């Protein structure tokens, strides 16, 4: 389940059955569930991640599908769905990075953590579906023994949380770009 984004959710059947990817757009306020077209990317026996967001400049909702091949888990395919066009496009050029744990849509871009694996020397790689550009934002370096770190959004700001045994640190990026 992805979302909410303006009250809309995206549901993926593939998360539960890993055979055939079925994506649905769900609007609970009008009780409507719509099946989205197939992206053309085979997710069978591969790992994948999704992001969902609204591109204000295009007045359009987008879904990014990121798929990685085993055993390396480096990204092999990226596709972007446009609700307005009801179609997918394949992104042919992208950085050689590993599959994200989670994808967050913040400030018009999809973000995911890349880098050191324990937070050290890490970046948030971003993808702008409006112009198909990729970039990086430096993230703070957590200290000590971290068990879990991830990107989140708070009041529209890019944030990183880092869970320790007895506490959680939260960094908020107030200025972006």
Q: What is the pLDDT of residues 50-67, one digit of tens each?
A: 899 999 999 999 999 988
Q: Which domain holds residue 6?
A: 2-173
**Environment class of 162 (CB within 10 Å of its CB; exposed 0-12, middle 13-18, buried 19+):** buried
Banded model confidence at residue 19, pLDDT cuts 50, 70, 90: low
Number of domains in the chain: 1
The continuous run of DSSP H or E covering 157 comes out as strand 157-163
- Supply φ then ψ for residue 58, to 5 degrees: -105, -5
**Is residue 20 predicted with pLDDT exceeding 80?**
no
Task: Decide: pTM greater than 0.75.
Answer: yes
Is there a contact between 97 and 114 (Cβ–Cβ < 8 Å)?
Answer: yes
Residue that is written with structure tokens 């997918």 in the block:
88
Torsion, Cα of 93, 96, 97, 100 (10° steps): 30
Q: For residue range 112-158, list pLDDT tens digits in order.
A: 888 654 445 578 889 999 899 999 888 887 776 665 778 888 888 99
pLDDT digits (tens, 9 = 90+) for 79-92: 999 999 999 999 98
């Amino acid at each position: 389940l992805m979302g909410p984004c303006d009250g809309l959710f995206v549901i993926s059947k593939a998360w539960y059955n890993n055979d055939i990817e079925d994506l649905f757009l769900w609007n609970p306020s009008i009780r409507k569930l719509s099946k989205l077209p197939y992206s053309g990317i085979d997710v069978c026996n591969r790992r994948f991640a999704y992001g969902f967001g609204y591109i204000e400049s295009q007045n359009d909702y987008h879904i990014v599908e990121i798929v990685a091949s085993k055993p390396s888990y480096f990204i092999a395919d990226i596709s972007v769905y446009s609700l307005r066009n009801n179609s997918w496009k394949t992104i042919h050029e992208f950085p050689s990075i590993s599959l994200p744990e989670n994808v967050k849509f913040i400030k018009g871009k999809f973000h995911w953590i890349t880098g050191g694996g324990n937070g050290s020397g890490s970046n948030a790689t971003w993808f702008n579906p409006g112009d198909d550009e990729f970039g990086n934002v430096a993230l703070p370096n957590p200290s000590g023994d971290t068990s879990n770190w991830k990107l989140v959004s708070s009041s529209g700001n890019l944030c990183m949380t880092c869970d320790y045994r007895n506490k959680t640190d939260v960094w908020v990026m107030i200025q972006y770009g």
